[in-house]
A and B are shown apart, each in its own frame.
Chain A
Amino acid sequence: MSEFRRQHPIAAVTQFLSVLRQNLIPIAIFLVLGSRNTDDYFWYFFVAGVISTLVIGFLGWIRFTYRVDGDELQINKGVLVRKKLYLTKDRIQVIDITEGLLQRIFGLVKVEVKSAGSGTDNATISAISRDEALELRALLRGEQSALQSEETVVSEEEISDQTSEVLEWRLSGKSLLLAALTSGNFGLIASILGAISGQLDQFVTEENLYFILDKVPGLGNTSLFVGVFILIFVVSYIFSFIGVIFQYADFKVEKKEKELHITSGLLERKHTTIPFNRIQALRFVEGIFREPFGYGMLYVESAGFEQKTNERSIVLLPFIKKDKLNAFLSDFIEEVEQPEFTITPPGRAFFRYLRRPNYILITAILGIWWFWDLGWIFFGFLVPATFLGWLRFNDAKLSFNGNMMKLQYRVLAKRTAYLKRNRAQVSELTRNPFQSFKKLATTHITVASGAGGKDFSVIDLDEQDAQKIINWSVGAKHEE
């Protein structure tokens, strides 16, 4: 692959679509505002915009060439500003191969090569054939033997590496279903739907409302309100259900000699390659709907070029029973030992834990009460908030040994993070005056994740313990 190559022409279209997608909101605003304008010139602008985007997409495709030369991935691109991107093999953190819907129609894939650091650009080759992608990946991962085997074995369906023994974990259909049922995503979707329904004012006029109230017997103001609420809930639950199914259908993790391969997705298949030595930390999250059943989700933090916070972590296991986690870790991840030396917050921090969730709540309730006479009924929420504080106190736990740290804490969902000492980028101890008074401190350990950091923190630990923890990152041996 030492000659420069061009992508499949469809890349011009994907480029066009991605520009559209990135500017969806401005375009929508533009359309809404513009269509109110009765003059024709608005449409000239619009058409000109679309055409120039298409042309730029096309020129972008012409300019974009790539090759692998020795240890380097070289990419030339840019329409107005020409860019040469040279990426050395040993700087690569993660390789993603995605088969998008559009690409799939043409049998193509998108390859994203991610390196660490916020200043670097990521190398995305948005449409090449699957064979080329696999060849590229093999070259960049430096597996000569794997290259040969993959070249011969590439079938339509599976990428399998038959030369080396492959350990595999698959998400069963039942688990996928449960994962979709218990994903907490619907809260997020509901809030988006709520925001949209707020925009539907023009349809929900008083006239329409009274019309409906008159026609449907037994429908009062309250029941209508409750009905809309339930409707939003149901619709967003269905959306989140479908979303999870599409995202994690046919999910599998394969263990190769030096890396993990993750494959998932129904319409858009995504293959992620994470080398073991690029794993920064592992994070097990037990969502509030999953924890009662003993299930959770496992993420990998790796230092790639992902700017968007929610996409920085890579899902390693979308749904797994907690008691099977350790077996998985020891099978798939090297050197995950469980440290036994344990630190928990001291008893004098107990009431601080109970109080903490209530501060914002009380402020908010007072605010509501000011505007609404019945606002005081929200004081009932103090009970679950205090309960949350109690759970947080019980779940805060941190342990480490010479090499590994395991920390557990709860925000709403319970999280457990595993990290190696040489992956702790920064460790920090903070305390406010109230903590100083009680000789408590909060610790933060930051690992690299995406283009930024991921912060793991345990609050209100004994100050001496907190000190031991931050000393751990620079290699001071813990006593005891």
Chain B
Amino acid sequence: MNDLILPQTRINENAIKAWRISVALFGLLLYAVPALLYLLYLNNDVALMVPIATAPTTFIIHMGLIFIFPKIRWSRWRFDVNEKGVDMYRGIFVLKRTIVPVNRIQHVDTKQGPIYRKFGLSSISISTAATTHEIPALDDETATHLRSMISELVRKVKEDV
């Protein structure tokens, strides 16, 4: 969306590392597929070629998820918070821009998993009466600041659902 005015704030660059680690870990689940196929081979259900071909494919996909996607995801992620609302822009293939008007926000949370904690990151989730949106990977200080800033903005303009 080059010729549109986009939000400007980026998320913390450590996000890339944090995401890489979590994808590296959770991506291990992908290897269940060749493992399962190997079991099927032992059971004479598929040819040996099937698990042999699947294993490196899984590896390539896993590496792609680790080394390519976090970077793209990080570089796309932009957001802005102002008195009108929260503006978010993100996406890898499908680009998505979301605007949550401030007076529709119900509550704001920050949260932190073990990997995020290691990098001093937190994510913020913003809930409306209908949906919840997350801004991932902000450093703790920004996250806390942003959370109180949003709730301050909300308090100023609050209307009922």
Contacts and interface: CB of A to CB of B under 8 A. Distances in A.
Contact of B85 (A422, A454, A474): A474
Given A277-B160, A303-B161, A446 B99 contact: no
Interface in B84-119: 84-85, 91, 93-104, 106
Interface stretch (A40-48, A127-135, A159-167, A424-432): A424-432
Nearest to B129: A448
Chain B: number of interface residues, binned into ranges: 20 to 34
B103 A427 contact: no
B161 A428 contact: no
Contact of B99 (A278, A431, A470): A470
Chain A: number of interface residues, binned into ranges: 35 or more
Nearest to A302: B161
B25 interface: no
Interface in B112-146: 128-131, 133
Interface of B: 1, 3-4, 84-85, 91, 93-104, 106, 128-131, 133, 159-161
B104 A424 contact: yes
A428 B97 contact: yes
A407 interface: no
A116 interface: yes
Interface in A432-454: 432-433, 436, 441, 446-449, 452-454
A447 B93 CA distance: 26
A364 B78 CA distance: 38
Interface in A261-291: 277-278
A426 B84 contact: no
A475 interface: yes
Q: Tell me the interface secondary structure of chain A in the complex.
A: mixed
Contacts of A430: 91, 94-97
A116 B94 contact: no
Contacts of A403: none
Interface of A: 90, 93, 116-117, 277-278, 303, 422, 424-433, 436, 441, 446-449, 452-454, 463-464, 467, 470-471, 473-476
Given A431-B94, A452-B130, A463-B1, A426 B161 contact: no
A426 B133 contact: yes
A432 B128 CA distance: 26
A473 B99 contact: yes
B36 to A, nearest CB: 23
A429 B161 CA distance: 23
Nearest to B97: A429
A454 B1 contact: no
Contact of A429 (B3, B84, B96, B100): B96
Contacts of A467: 4
B161 A116 contact: yes
Contacts of A277: 160
B130 A475 contact: no
A335 to B, nearest CB: 16
Contacts of B133: 426
B98 A428 contact: yes
28 contacts: A93-B161, A117-B106, A117-B129, A277-B160, A278-B161, A422-B159, A424-B104, A426-B99, A426-B100, A426-B131, A426-B133, A428-B98, A430-B91, A430-B95, A431-B1, A431-B95, A436-B95, A448-B130, A452-B130, A453-B128, A463-B1, A463-B3, A463-B4, A473-B99, A474-B84, A474-B85, A474-B102, A475-B84
A446 B106 contact: no
Given A448-B128, A474-B84, A425 B96 contact: no
